[in-house]
Amino acid sequence: MTDLPGGDASTPIAVLKEAICHFAAVRGWEPFHTPKNLALALASEVGELCALFRWLSPEQSLSAARDPQQREAIADELADVANILLLLSAHTGIDLSDAVRAKLEKNARKYPPPPTGEERGAEYLNP
């Protein structure tokens, strides 16, 4: 697995998806990788990521992300989330790049930027 290109800037999603699908296939895990099972596994892994930040103040969570030991645990959980998301994408035939692009377009229409001079995020402060 160490032959993967390094960094987000140089690693296509398709390469990561192929790597995690191969990893699962050679271990015989494919029969268990139904959309339902993968979605539940994804929720479980997100829960493990959330547990690393549970009960921390915003400042403590930022500090945790900078602490080398805690950062490694966060990176491990992020990788678990990403791996299952990639498997779910592969098993549903959904292209993640296309899905993200389409969702950004929908969100841009739904949440236009505030007019110049208006405080950003103000609409969320006083519901």
- State the pTM of this model: 0.85
Residues 90, 42, 17, CA angle at the centre, nearest 5°? 30
CB 97 within 8 A of CB 13: yes
State how far the Cα of 14 lies from the Cα of 3, in Å rounded to an integer: 15
pLDDT in tens, 112-127: 988 877 777 766 666 5
Architecture of the structural domain at 10-112: Orthogonal Bundle (1.10)
Report the pLDDT value the prediction gives residue 91, as an integer from 0 to 100: 97
Consecutive H or E run containing 96: helix 96-110
| Tokens found for residue 100 | 């993200």
pLDDT in tens, 1-46: 557 778 888 899 999 999 999 999 999 999 999 999 999 999 999 9
Q: Could you tell me how far CA 59 lies from the centroid of its own chain? A: 22
